[in-house]
Structure 1
Amino acid sequence: MDLRIAGAILAGGQSRRMDGIDKALLPFGEKRVIDHVFERLSRQITPVVLNSNNEPVLFMELPIPVVPDDIDGFAGPLAGILAAMEWANGQALPFTHIATVATDTPFFPDDLVDTLRRSVADERGCICVAASGGRLHPVFGIWPVSLRSDLRRWLSNENHRRVMAWLERHPHKIAEFPIRTEQSGVPLDPFFNINTPEDINEARRRWNAIS
Structure 2
Amino acid sequence: MKQPFGIILAGGLATRMGGGDKTMLALGGVPILSRIIDRIAPQVAALALNANGDAARFAGMGLPVLADSIEGYAGPLAGVLAGLDWAAEHGAETVVSVAGDTPFFPCDLVPRLLLASEGMAHPLVLARTPDGRQPTFGLWPVALRHDLRAALEGGLRKVVMWTDGHGGREALFDDPGTPFFNVNTPEDLARAHAMLEGDE
Range of TM-score over shorter length? over 0.9
Q: Distance in 2 between matches of 1:67 and 1:161?
A: 19
Superposition pairs for residues 70-81 of structure 1, below 5 Å?
A: 70-81=69-80
For structure 1, which segment, 33-42 or 121-130, has the greater mean C-alpha deviation from structure 2 after superposition? 121-130
Worse-matched range after superposition: 46-55 or 96-105: 46-55
Map of 1:14 onto structure 2? 13
> Once superposed, which parts of structure 1, at least 4 consecutive aligned residues long, lie more than 2 Å away?
none
Please report the TM-score for the alignment, with normalisation by the length of structure 2: 0.96
Residue in 2 that maps onto 1:96? 93
Q: For 2:42 and 2:197, how far apart are their aligned partners in 1?
A: 21
Match of 1:208 among 192, 197, 200: 197
For 2:126 and 2:52, the matched residues in 1 are separated by 24
The alignment status of 1:114 with 2:103, answered yes or no, reads no
Deviations 1:153-187 (A, max 9, x none): 001123x111111111102111111232xxxxxxx
C-alpha separation between the residues in 1 aligned to 2:26 and 2:131? 30
Q: Name the residue aligned to 1:35.
A: 34
Moved more, 130-139 or 69-78: 130-139
Per the alignment, residue 47 of structure 1 pairs with 46
Provide structure 2 residue ranges, at least 5 long, that are not aligned to the other structure.
Answer: none
- Residue 120 of structure 2 corresponds to 123
Task: Write 1 or 2 for the structure with the bigger share of helix.
Answer: 2
Q: What percentage of residue pairs aligned between the two structures are identical?
A: 38
Q: Does the 8 Å CA contact 2:94/2:123 hold for their aligned counterparts?
A: no
Asked if 1:198 corresponds to 2:187, the answer is yes
State the Cα RMSD in Å. Answer: 1.1
Structure 1: tracts of 5 or more residues without a match: 181-187
What one-letter code is carried by the residue in structure 2 that aligns with 1:210?
Answer: D
Q: Which residue does 2:159 correspond to in 1?
A: 163
Q: What is the aligned length?
A: 200
The one-letter amino acid of 2:105's match is F
Aligned partner (choices 157, 171, 189) of residue 178 of structure 2: 189
TM-score under structure 1 length normalisation? 0.91
Deviations 1:85-136 (A, max 9, x none): 0000011xx1000001000000001110000011113213131110112311
